[in-house]
Amino acid sequence: MNRSRCRNKAFSLVEMLVTIAVIGILAAIAVPTIGNVVEGSRRGVAENLVQTLNKATREFSHSQWDLRTNPVPSSGGDEMLVLRTLQWRDPDTSGELNPKGPFMKNDWNPTTSSSNEDYRAEWTGSVWKLLEPGTEGAGLKIIFDGSDLGTTYKHDDAFTPVGSR
């Protein structure tokens, strides 16, 4: 009677350590790359929002009046006032063919920020500019989780838009 050996197949300790080391090396390479992708995506979203604000400003200027102000760089108040002007609908119902607005969605309710850790949209007096993290200045804080969307902003009847006629 020949006894055949029944050999269990499994990883040896050395094979297990090599596998764990390879996984660790791959993770060390992949994790920073994924972080760069996320940061690049945030920058892309922030640039898109600033382009949208500039487009709304141009459309407002073509339809209503030239939207120019003297900005206050240390405050986000002028950014908020310009945004609310872009979200405003002219109540004048005369027969003019110009669009009355709003030129920016009025369910966007950002906060202002002067933290150099945030992406911010800064009003320069005639156009919007992106402030990236690490840059000083105040502006509308760009939030990436959508928590600043939803509630429609209601303008007071006495609202006076920036630079009104």
Instruction: Please tell me the pTM assigned to this model.
Output: 0.76
**How far, in Å, are 67, 80, 124, 146 from residue 113 at the CA level?**
22, 11, 15, 16
Q: Are 110 and 148 in contact (CB under 8 A)?
A: yes
CB neighbour list of residue 10: distance below 8 Å, 6 or more residues apart: none
| Longest distance between any two alpha carbons in the chain, whole Å | 108
pLDDT in tens, 4-55: 666 667 778 888 899 999 999 888 887 777 777 778 889 999 999 999 999 9
- CA torsion sign for 21, 23, 25, 28 is negative
pLDDT in tens, 91-128: 776 756 667 889 999 999 999 999 999 999 999 999 99
